[in-house]
Structures are given as structure tokens and as C-alpha cells.
Amino acid sequence: MVLTAFWAMLPAYIPNNAAVLAGGGRPIDGGKTMGGRRLLGDGKTWRGTAVGWGAGAVLAVVLNAIQQDASDLVGMTLPEFPIAIILALPLGAMLGDIAASFLKRRTGRERGAPFPGVDQLDFVAGALLLAAIARPGWFLDTFTLPVLLVVLVLTPILHVLTNGIAYLLGLKDEPW
Ligand code: CTP
Ligand code: MG
């Protein structure tokens, strides 16, 4: 269950980290404001979003290529990603993160300000939602209730860990 959850969510985990590495350039909101605050802020860029999406999709293709061998190795059938899911999981992750920034700006939080709970799960919500829309059947087969529960527990732990490491390595300005 933990392995299935981790495997199925990997294409949604990678985009944020890739965006941190690739970020910079033109902000998506083009500097526009709403109610005196930025629509999204400088932390959401076209490049970061595109690279994050691409990185997650490429990873999903790689996981598909090794799915059989990996399944044999762990003695269980790990999920395969249909093409719509290859695209939906990482795009949903990026959109969830962007939606959270919109929410953060509307609630007066500056770029980089922590939003506990939202920071850790925004991309999961986005990825799961878009995957469910893209391939409802695959979504229900893969994300059974126990797997979903593992995802909800595992993700914040991994998120805190990886962002802490990125912060210590000087890749990220804040550890969240
Ligand atoms: N990033 C990006 N494009 C995205 C998401 C992230 O370019 N769609 C890059 C930015 O350089 C950003 C960094 O990754 O600063 C860290 O991402 P995140 O923590 O999500 O952004 P914050 O800068 O903290 O901004 P916010 O408060 O809006 O979350
Ligand atoms: Mg942040």
C-alpha cells in the first residue's frame, strides 16, 4: 500500500522540486494585482511550471518502462500510467500549487509565507482531482481508500523532508 501510494504519486511529487530548481523568469500573473496584492506572486513562473510538468511526465514514462521489473522485485503489481494520467498528475500538482498561491495572496500571505497544511497538500489535491477527471476508472482502481489514506499521511512527511533538504542545500529560500 505504501509502495503503491508512493509509486502512483511520484509523478506528482517531482514537479514541485523541479520547479524549485528551474524557477525564475516571467511570473505567470505578469505582475498583476488584485485588491492591492499580487494575483499569484513571483514564486509562480512559466518556466518553473513547464519544467515541473515536463519532469513529472517524463518520470511517469520512465516508471512505466520499469513497472514490470519493479513489480516483480517488490512482489506486487505497481500501477501503470495511461497517457492522460502521465499528463494529469504533474499538471494537477502544479495547478494545485498555483491555486494555493492565489489563496495565500488573497489571505494576505506574502510570497514564501508558510500556510501550514495547504503548503503540504495543495499539489496532492490538484494531482488527484485532475487525475480523477482525466481517467475516473484508473483513479478509482489505483487510489483505493487505504492508498488514499497513505497518500494523505505520507505526502506531508515527504514534503517537509524534501523541502528541508532543499533549504539546507540553499536551493530554496524557506524550509516549507
Ligand atoms: N516555482 C516556479 N513556478 C511554480 C512553482 C514554483 O517557478 N509554478 C519556483 C519559484 O522559484 C519558487 C520556488 O519554486 O520561489 C519555490 O516554490 P514555492 O514554495 O511553491 O513558492 P514560494 O516562492 O514559496 O511562493 P508562494 O508563497 O506563492 O508559495
Ligand atoms: Mg513556498
- Contact status, residue 97 vs residue 123, Cβ threshold 8 Å: yes
Considering the chain, what is the average pLDDT of its residues?
A: 96
Residue 42 CB: number of other CB atoms within 10 A?
17
Which ligand 1 atom is at minimum distance from the Cα of 101? Answer: 28
Residue 176 has a CB neighbour count (10 Å cut-off) of 15
Give the pLDDT confidence score for residue 130 in this predicted structure.
Answer: 98
pLDDT at residue 6, as a whole number:
97
Model pLDDT, residue 23? 83
pLDDT for res 74: 96
User: Which of 26, 37, 45 should be mutated for ligand 1, with most atoms under 8 A from CB?
Assistant: 45
Q: What are 86-129's pLDDT values in tens digits?
A: 999 999 999 999 999 999 999 999 999 999 999 999 999 999 99
**Per-residue pLDDT averaged across 29-48, rounded?**
97
